[in-house]
Amino acid sequence: MMKLKIGIIGAGGIATNRHIPVLFKLNEVEVCGLYDVRKEQAEKVAQLFSIPFIAESEEALFNKVDAVIICTPNKFHHLSAIKALEAGKHVFCEKPMAISSKDAQAMEDAANAAQKVLQIGYHYRFKKDSLAAKKAISNGQIGDPVVVRVEAMRRRKVPGWGVFTNKEIQGGGCLIDYGCHLLDLAMWLMDFPEIESIQGQTYELVSRDADQVNEWGIYDATTIDVEDHATAYIRFTSGATMLFETSWAANVPEDKETLSISGTKGGMTVFPYSLNKATQGMLTTTKADWISGEDEELAQLRHFVSCCIEDTLPIVKANEAKRVSAIIEEIYRQSI
Amino acid sequence: MMKLKIGIIGAGGIATNRHIPVLFKLNEVEVCGLYDVRKEQAEKVAQLFSIPFIAESEEALFNKVDAVIICTPNKFHHLSAIKALEAGKHVFCEKPMAISSKDAQAMEDAANAAQKVLQIGYHYRFKKDSLAAKKAISNGQIGDPVVVRVEAMRRRKVPGWGVFTNKEIQGGGCLIDYGCHLLDLAMWLMDFPEIESIQGQTYELVSRDADQVNEWGIYDATTIDVEDHATAYIRFTSGATMLFETSWAANVPEDKETLSISGTKGGMTVFPYSLNKATQGMLTTTKADWISGEDEELAQLRHFVSCCIEDTLPIVKANEAKRVSAIIEEIYRQSI
Amino acid sequence: MMKLKIGIIGAGGIATNRHIPVLFKLNEVEVCGLYDVRKEQAEKVAQLFSIPFIAESEEALFNKVDAVIICTPNKFHHLSAIKALEAGKHVFCEKPMAISSKDAQAMEDAANAAQKVLQIGYHYRFKKDSLAAKKAISNGQIGDPVVVRVEAMRRRKVPGWGVFTNKEIQGGGCLIDYGCHLLDLAMWLMDFPEIESIQGQTYELVSRDADQVNEWGIYDATTIDVEDHATAYIRFTSGATMLFETSWAANVPEDKETLSISGTKGGMTVFPYSLNKATQGMLTTTKADWISGEDEELAQLRHFVSCCIEDTLPIVKANEAKRVSAIIEEIYRQSI
Amino acid sequence: MMKLKIGIIGAGGIATNRHIPVLFKLNEVEVCGLYDVRKEQAEKVAQLFSIPFIAESEEALFNKVDAVIICTPNKFHHLSAIKALEAGKHVFCEKPMAISSKDAQAMEDAANAAQKVLQIGYHYRFKKDSLAAKKAISNGQIGDPVVVRVEAMRRRKVPGWGVFTNKEIQGGGCLIDYGCHLLDLAMWLMDFPEIESIQGQTYELVSRDADQVNEWGIYDATTIDVEDHATAYIRFTSGATMLFETSWAANVPEDKETLSISGTKGGMTVFPYSLNKATQGMLTTTKADWISGEDEELAQLRHFVSCCIEDTLPIVKANEAKRVSAIIEEIYRQSI
Amino acid sequence: MMKLKIGIIGAGGIATNRHIPVLFKLNEVEVCGLYDVRKEQAEKVAQLFSIPFIAESEEALFNKVDAVIICTPNKFHHLSAIKALEAGKHVFCEKPMAISSKDAQAMEDAANAAQKVLQIGYHYRFKKDSLAAKKAISNGQIGDPVVVRVEAMRRRKVPGWGVFTNKEIQGGGCLIDYGCHLLDLAMWLMDFPEIESIQGQTYELVSRDADQVNEWGIYDATTIDVEDHATAYIRFTSGATMLFETSWAANVPEDKETLSISGTKGGMTVFPYSLNKATQGMLTTTKADWISGEDEELAQLRHFVSCCIEDTLPIVKANEAKRVSAIIEEIYRQSI
Amino acid sequence: MMKLKIGIIGAGGIATNRHIPVLFKLNEVEVCGLYDVRKEQAEKVAQLFSIPFIAESEEALFNKVDAVIICTPNKFHHLSAIKALEAGKHVFCEKPMAISSKDAQAMEDAANAAQKVLQIGYHYRFKKDSLAAKKAISNGQIGDPVVVRVEAMRRRKVPGWGVFTNKEIQGGGCLIDYGCHLLDLAMWLMDFPEIESIQGQTYELVSRDADQVNEWGIYDATTIDVEDHATAYIRFTSGATMLFETSWAANVPEDKETLSISGTKGGMTVFPYSLNKATQGMLTTTKADWISGEDEELAQLRHFVSCCIEDTLPIVKANEAKRVSAIIEEIYRQSI
């Protein structure tokens, strides 16, 4: 069997903690090279994982591989992705797709022109509970979704490392970095319905305190310029609505990551998967005690590799990820 | 001591199960008479509670009393209240104040003209946890409220008695009947800030099923014409936002009645009262193991009586209840 | 509406604590008289419940009623029932149907000859969870039952009152008095399949200790002559098997009343109702958070009355109760 | 000190995951060689554990050792064991002793003739809770056992590896592979009383579904020919009875591994060890918060080694293991 | 049967809420009269309980009865008790026996002189768990007691009624009113061993705050002159020691009422009864799931009545209660 | 940066399991050598941790280092410490400071004379909960401490290794080895107030049983000559009191390590940190869900190193540790 040759662009934490170790678990794959503008970091990572080739440029990497995994800061996603697609390479790009919907559109166009796979790293869709929820909705278990609730709430956990608190590089804070996952998942479970209106507001609630109490390390409270909290309300043309909230730094009793849906025939919570129905004279709750499948990060890349090899459309489509970016963009626009 | 003479208008369940038994616990009060268009019901209740006078008309009742308790269906609230105020009587009127904001305005005007007490029955404000929350916010415990969440969710509990499912008489369903309490409480805890925009949507999710499974009795699924579910999003000029959801018939794991607030200095949940802060290098939760005070229905009427006797403004002001009615009205308007 | 006229035979605890109060909740019923060989007891009960007629004999009672409720000790069930049926009266008879299967057969024959209702008091079938289980099995939720487990275990609770410890009058102990309920329910849920073989053994484990520790009062350890524990194994011609255990006086961590079934397509536990399946890549548990319906003792008599009025066959059929008695009889036979 | 020289026969999972690592923890032991018909597997394992000698035949192994550990599929247990015993070697043989009671008898005879140790791998007897239970019964804590209950129930966990689903090689499924442990333990706790009759039935409940949901890997649903579920009822001449159930694939709420005993003076559950008594006017539960001792797999082999060195009879006697095999044989016979 | 004629002295809360209703449950007793210096209160209570005789003086009461129940404030216990004993009446006197040990001694002397029953109301000894503990210690379950711990801690519950906060009348606060029960119980379980030394300290921790938060009503923070908290350490000549703490108003997570003992052979906690041992290679906990017996207040008076009728010594002996009073007196002495 | 050169005296378990691994985490430190009277042990440890220098004598070690960590048995603490201080070295000495208060005084004097750091290893003060408690008390959260409770209770866990059961070498058992930590912490939280009197008693409760059941290995029950249990009561001149208990071998339901304080304005428990107050009409509990900081053993040595480098007084002062030793000495004196 010919193995799919893969190159890494951006050798930071996401690459080293998540994607590279996962790729080594996939038999159909060979990690052939990597590129990072920070030469030294590239060398450190290449040595750590015995990656044979350190590219001097993205172009040099393209020559050696069939596909690239893009793990750069958000601001650079579209640049690398478009270059790779134009070079005829499949692209797996970390979320969010891009900071602006215009850039996302350009990525989608490039993928279409190149007829190559472009998958965005919304791995929440590959969680076992998410897949079970998707299957149950498709089977009509809850009828049509009408009310969707999203809470992606972390208690005082502003990331104290990397560039997460820099708006120019990342495009925003908790919404574009964390809330985007749950937003994408909610939209996917609803089958990306047509939107009638979006209302949203971001906040810089607590992260500017000098005497911060923060569970995830120490950040510079004088330079952080991204939101740490956001709310939104999306109304769909079907009449459905979504209540959305995300935070990096909420003063709440505990972290909360919930997505629940009320439909015309039943209700569902996704984490953990559970179904509420009213049938046969009973109000019932069905829980999944065990779900077959594998870890979402492994499942996500296995799926990408399979799409590349079999030339099929990925589950996380460029068009969908673009719509998620557009929603985020609109919430930021209203919050200026 | 002269006792405050009180008359009852509307001798249905709210009067007999809630207000009349509570009035008998108040020493400063004498229940002097009652009026109901349903003569027979009036007689039954008068006998049950040994109320000495059954009025033939509201006017006849006014002659005997200092104040009235209005427990009629929503549609009639303003008619009785205005008549009573014009007759120089204090008025305690069940929530909602009125079906339309126009009617509510007329009630407020009548109270102002008469210089009499007009208190609306938003008794959630008198719950011990609510009072503790109000006190804590006033003391600056959470700073300025910026995100408020309300969930007033009942699981498959459409009221199967009375006129609750009749839109013409009640003005709506779960929103105007149940959600209004939490909406009023949230607005009060926020000090009734100026609203920038309201978005809302009502639903008739499940209540039309022929084979209904309903915990609170049986209603006519062919005639019910009120909503059983609603969502809303309110943006205030301060930048604060409220996420709101209410239901009579949700397919959810269990009933939920939550109100929580994230402020600039801390977070709070109201039921039960609890405070989350980040201070002194710690993330803390403060719970109230015991709160002094009495039952909210007793506290509400004790307060009304005291306002009547001492000629002071009630906690639940006409102007505030009118604003709650206006919000509800706007959500209904958008849902047509 | 003509009311069903009902007479009581046997005015002991079962009549006064269970059936008579329940009858007063049924609109379609009139309790017209009662008979007890203990004249004084009959008078006390008649006065307590304002029952207008104290019969001098069963025959005298038959003249005044349409139906009788038989609450005598087990030994007398068949005598009263057959007399009543021959007099053209409907009969509700407490469980067990009779001490011997021969007597039970005679009762069934009498009912058939008289074309009257003969319902045995196996009220466990009318529990809400039991009805839900029956419905779910009928809908094919677990496929065909293949293994059934029954545990009707009380911890040191020999009844310290009445005649429960007298074998001559009651026919036995925990098996005929308590285990019979779960045995009947299990057989009903399985649709009374054909039996291939029965194995069983009774015990007198602990109830003969002089220094008894017993939660339900004090009995005479020197005269008790009934079993306090029993096990059994029933093999059906279908290949299905039932594991059965019952006790009045087990040294176990806590009381246990369980009935569970493994079927070809799923598993079920009945108290509380819960379903285990393996579908869609998941192992699931479905619980009933709420089941519509009413108390089993009320449901049982409402059903009896309805059968009498509409001349329909009761859910607990004479033929079935007879088979339960035959199983018990066989276990006793093997234990001599 | 001379070390006991040990050889391994059968280098599959039981040898590599359980016995070999345990042997390395015993000071009195030297693992001298191993034999497996699969040469390649033998080499792999020898290298992994640095075992110095790979035998070409069982006989070649016998020349180098004092004792053998037999870890072959069930079908071959008796062949290897008898050869080893005839060669004058002590034998530790995995459970079950043999597929047929005839083969088990031959093993026992060989051990008697050779005057060598023959211990069967029923390590459940060496669990700390089992040893505590045995001690308590011996001390008379529960009097004579009269009712014994065994539930060895796994929820949808058919072993998806090895030869477990092949009847010709293993002799059966869950009963001979898993239930045998609890059956042996129960018999031991009862002191292997005389049996009056055995009733039993095996099932192939769920394991033939094409779309199996199975927690322990994937097996071939078209070739599996062993039972996945069994029930039994054993009556002893003392009047005691045992209720027995075992499964690999039950649709139950969770795995269950219980053994409990009601005796003439008290009750006991074994996992975890707990005692129920009725004394001094109290119903009591005694739990073991901590039990001294070591892991059962270590204890089992330490005991075997000690028996070899000191020429004493092992706790798990050939005669007892043979009786367990005979019970299993009888249940299979009734299920054809 | 002649009934024991009983008179009540002091018709306050203890009499009306505890002793009189309990006396009505005892067949062997007749409540013949009552006396209270507050004539009006005496009349109210006599009418409420249909007590036939309201005495003008204690002496007048003595003429009508065989025994008296003394429920006056602590200060008067000894006066009434001695008069009654001198009049030849049996005496049940509420705890504490007296404020001073001198008064207690005089009571004991009077009882001895009169040869009448004198029982003090330490009903904690009659709790089911206490009786079980006493029995277990007598049986040698824990060997000799060496360390005893008492915590009688209430969270912010100063009694807001009666004379509890008046030192002149009651002799003290939480120690003499509440802690005395646990102190007496501990001494009894230890068999009232000889004391080597007492150390103790009382506090007025929180009860003087003007803005008191108190769960048990409102008291006058300006006049309260009793302790709300106390600690003590008692060393016995055997070498055993007792750690003691009691409070009415502690700022603790929850109320605590614990008594535990470490002995030479085991440990015990009394509420609820539980035993810790180290035997047979195990650390065990034995709990009582159910204890036979009746409510302690009923048991206490049944015992008193039985002592009066059978002329036997009560379990709570005058000599013992006197020693409890002496310990309390010494703690107060050290705290001045 | 010059690193602080550190030497280890005593290469037993405390050195190898605790201090040496921790020192390797501190950047400012270099472990230069070690000394142990047991030459072989010194070599083993030096090799294990690649420590470059094995000293032949303490003096030889002093020549190479700036500071020493003393981990010898208690009896030798003062000898090594004084020599080191006289040699001009900073000293970190394991707790207890010394067996006698005289020796402790000598150590303090030596430190004062040398003007070097002398820190005792009371690392409980560096636990995150302890630091939070200290900060809260300093902020006046509970007012003045008045009652302090200490329970340092282990259930049947006599250390079965080392010299812990040898009185001559260690000076005592659970009190000097384990209870000392909590005693020191309690004294520190109270700000080491002046003592009025000490009462105390030690016990040898259970540790002499031949058939010991012990969770922490096996010790020689015939030679153990230290206490396994102790109680004490300390009265301070302020009126405050401390109730103290410690054990290695208690028969209690579970291990307990509690320190709680009632103050004039609130109550506190330290493990985990929690605060009880009565304010604003509420009884509240405040818990710390998360406390910033690091492991106490790391924090302790980081602090020591920082004191050495910056020449500041350590948190655990010689004078304080000396007072802890004096209390222990007094309790032992009273127990002879």
CA distance A286 to chain D (A): 12
Position F123 scores a pLDDT of 98
Residue from the list A155, A213, A254 with its beta carbon closest to the beta carbon of F292 = A213
- Is residue E156 within 8 Å of residue E251, measured between CB atoms? yes
Q: How confident is the model at residue B207 (pLDDT cuts 50, 70, 90)?
A: low
Q: Neighbouring chains of B at 3+ CB pairs within 8 Å? A: A, C, E, F
CA distance C65 to chain E (A): 42
Task: Return the number of other C-beta atoms located less than 10 Å from residue C24's C-beta.
Answer: 12
Task: Please report where in the chains the tokens 């208060």 appear, as a residue.
Answer: F101
pLDDT, one tens digit per residue, over D190-228 is: 999 999 999 999 998 766 776 679 999 988 888 899 999
E30, β-bridge pairs:
E5
Enter the pTM of the model. Answer: 0.95
* Chains F and C in direct contact, meaning 3 or more beta-carbon pairs closer than 8 angstroms: no
Mean pLDDT calculated for residue range A198-215: 84
Residue numbers in chain E where pLDDT is lower than 50: none
Task: Return the number of other C-beta atoms located less than 10 Å from residue B323's C-beta.
Answer: 19
For residues F52 and F8, what is the distance between their CA atoms, to the nearest angstrom? Answer: 12
For residues F292 and B281, what is the distance between their CA atoms, to the nearest angstrom? Answer: 6
Position B28 scores a pLDDT of 95
Structural element, H or E, at residue E31? strand E29-35
Q: Neighbouring chains of C at 3+ CB pairs within 8 Å? A: A, B, D, E
CA dist F94 → A114, B271, F168 (Å): 70, 49, 18
Q: Tell me whether residues C291 and A281 touch, CB distance under 8 A.
A: yes
For residues E107 and E82, what is the distance between their CA atoms, to the nearest angstrom? Answer: 6
- Is residue F199 within 8 Å of residue F233, measured between CB atoms? yes
Q: Where are the alpha helices (DSSP H) in C97-209?
A: 101-114, 128-138, 167-170, 174, 180-189
And the tokens for E93?
A: 């006197």
> Which residues, numbered 31 to 60 in chain D, qualify as contacts with chain C under a Cβ-Cβ cut-off of 8 Å?
none
Assign 3-class secondary structure to B157-207. Answer: CCCCCCCCCCHHHHCCCHHHHHHHHHHHHHHHHCCCCCEEEEEEEEECCCC
pLDDT, one tens digit per residue, over A281-328 is: 999 999 999 999 999 999 999 999 999 999 999 999 999 999 999 999
Q: Neighbouring chains of A at 3+ CB pairs within 8 Å? A: B, C, D, F
CA distance F149 to chain A (A): 30
For residues A245 and A230, what is the distance between their CA atoms, to the nearest angstrom? Answer: 6
Q: Tell me whether residues B254 and C289 touch, CB distance under 8 A.
A: yes
Position A207 scores a pLDDT of 60
For residues E84 and E82, what is the distance between their CA atoms, to the nearest angstrom? Answer: 5
Mean pLDDT calculated for residue range F169-182: 97
Q: Is the peptide bond before A21 cis (omega within 30 degrees of 0)?
A: no
Mean pLDDT calculated for residue range F280-285: 95
Q: How confident is the model at residue A258 (pLDDT cuts 50, 70, 90)?
A: very high
Indicate the residue type of A222: T
Q: How confident is the model at residue A162 (pLDDT cuts 50, 70, 90)?
A: confident
Quote the percentage of chain D above a pLDDT of 70: 98
For E281, name the nearest residue in chain D, comparing CA atoms only: D292
And the tokens for B323?
A: 């604003």
Q: Looking at the complex, does the CB of residue B281 fall below 8 Å from at least one CB of chain F? A: yes
For residues F247 and F224, what is the distance between their CA atoms, to the nearest angstrom? Answer: 15
| List of chain F residues whose C-beta atoms are within 8 Å of the C-beta of residue B132 | 280-282
For residues B205 and B227, what is the distance between their CA atoms, to the nearest angstrom? Answer: 8
Mention every residue, 6+ apart, whose C-beta is less than 8 A from residue A314: A117, A118, A119, A303, A304, A307
Q: Tell me whether residues C253 and D245 touch, CB distance under 8 A.
A: no
Q: Tell me whether residues D215 and A290 touch, CB distance under 8 A.
A: yes
Q: How far apart are the first and last CA of chain D?
A: 53
Reference B297, options B47, B3, B94; nearest CA is B94
The dihedral through the CA atoms of E166, E170, E171, E172 has a sign that is negative
Q: Tell me whether residues D289 and F215 touch, CB distance under 8 A.
A: no
For A286, name the nearest residue in chain C, comparing CA atoms only: C286
Q: Looking at the complex, does the CB of residue E213 fall below 8 Å from at least one CB of chain B? A: yes
The dihedral through the CA atoms of E214, E218, E219, E221 has a sign that is positive
Residue A17, exposed/middle/buried by CB under 10 A (0-12, 13-18, 19+)?
Answer: exposed
Quote the percentage of chain F above a pLDDT of 90: 93
* Chains E and F in direct contact, meaning 3 or more beta-carbon pairs closer than 8 angstroms: yes
Position A206 scores a pLDDT of 65
Position B205 scores a pLDDT of 75
* Residue positions counted in chain D: 336
Reference B277, options B128, B93, B139, B149; nearest CA is B139
Q: Tell me whether residues A132 and C290 touch, CB distance under 8 A.
A: no
Structural element, H or E, at residue E112? helix E101-114
Task: Return the number of other C-beta atoms located less than 10 Å from residue C218's C-beta.
Answer: 11
For residues B325 and B180, what is the distance between their CA atoms, to the nearest angstrom? Answer: 8
Q: Neighbouring chains of E at 3+ CB pairs within 8 Å? A: B, C, D, F
CA distance D43 to chain C (A): 39
- Is residue D85 within 8 Å of residue D114, measured between CB atoms? yes
- Is residue F304 within 8 Å of residue F25, measured between CB atoms? no
Q: Looking at the complex, does the CB of residue A280 fall below 8 Å from at least one CB of chain C? A: yes
CA distance C298 to chain B (A): 18
Position C20 scores a pLDDT of 97
The dihedral through the CA atoms of B296, B297, B302, B307 has a sign that is positive
For residues B186 and B179, what is the distance between their CA atoms, to the nearest angstrom? Answer: 11
pLDDT of C2 strictly over 90: no
Q: Tell me whether residues F290 and A215 touch, CB distance under 8 A.
A: yes
Structural domains of chain A sorted by starting position, each given as residue range(s) with its CATH number in brackets: 4-120+297-314 (3.40.50.720), 126-293 (3.30.360.10)
Residue numbers in chain D where pLDDT is lower than 70: 1, 206-207, 210-211
A236, β-bridge pairs:
A195
Position D206 scores a pLDDT of 65
Q: Where are the alpha helices (DSSP H) in A58-163?
A: 58-62, 77-86, 101-114, 128-138
| List of chain D residues whose C-beta atoms are within 8 Å of the C-beta of residue A292 | 213
Q: Which residues of A107-131 are buried (b: 16+ CB within 10 A; e: fewer)?
A: bbebbeebebbbbbbbbbbbbbbbb
Question: What mean pLDDT value characterizes chain C?
Answer: 96
Mean pLDDT calculated for residue range B66-88: 98
pLDDT, one tens digit per residue, over B159-190 is: 988 899 999 999 999 999 999 999 999 999 99
Task: Return the number of other C-beta atoms located less than 10 Å from residue B208's C-beta.
Answer: 13
Reference F101, options F151, F190, F176; nearest CA is F176
Position E1 scores a pLDDT of 62
CA distance C276 to chain B (A): 18
Tell me how many residue pairs between chain B and chain E have CB atoms under 8 A apart.
7
For residues D224 and D221, what is the distance between their CA atoms, to the nearest angstrom? Answer: 6
- Is residue C67 within 8 Å of residue C90, measured between CB atoms? yes
CA angle D93–D96–D99, rounded 5-degree value: 115
Mention every residue, 6+ apart, whose C-beta is less than 8 A from residue E9: E34, E35, E36, E58, E61, E68, E69, E70, E71, E72, E80, E84
| List of chain B residues whose C-beta atoms are within 8 Å of the C-beta of residue A253 | 269, 274, 276, 285
Q: Tell me whether residues C132 and A281 touch, CB distance under 8 A.
A: yes
Q: How confident is the model at residue C206 (pLDDT cuts 50, 70, 90)?
A: low
Mean pLDDT calculated for residue range F124-152: 97
For residues E105 and E100, what is the distance between their CA atoms, to the nearest angstrom? Answer: 9
Position A222 scores a pLDDT of 86
pLDDT of A208 strictly over 80: no
Write out the E strands in chain D.
Answer: 4-9, 29-35, 67-70, 90-93, 118-120, 145-153, 195-203, 229-236, 241-247, 256-263, 267-269, 274-279, 282-291
Q: How confident is the model at residue C162 (pLDDT cuts 50, 70, 90)?
A: confident
Position E303 scores a pLDDT of 98
For residues D242 and D261, what is the distance between their CA atoms, to the nearest angstrom? Answer: 9
Position C308 scores a pLDDT of 97
Reference F274, options E253, A327, E196, B153; nearest CA is E253
CA distance C169 to chain D (A): 26
Write out the E strands in B13-164.
Answer: 29-35, 67-70, 90-93, 118-120, 145-155
Q: How confident is the model at residue F212 (pLDDT cuts 50, 70, 90)?
A: confident
Position F1 scores a pLDDT of 62
For residues A93 and A316, what is the distance between their CA atoms, to the nearest angstrom? Answer: 11
Indicate the residue type of C92: F
The DSSP-derived string for B287-310 is EEEEE----HHHHHHHHHHHHHHH
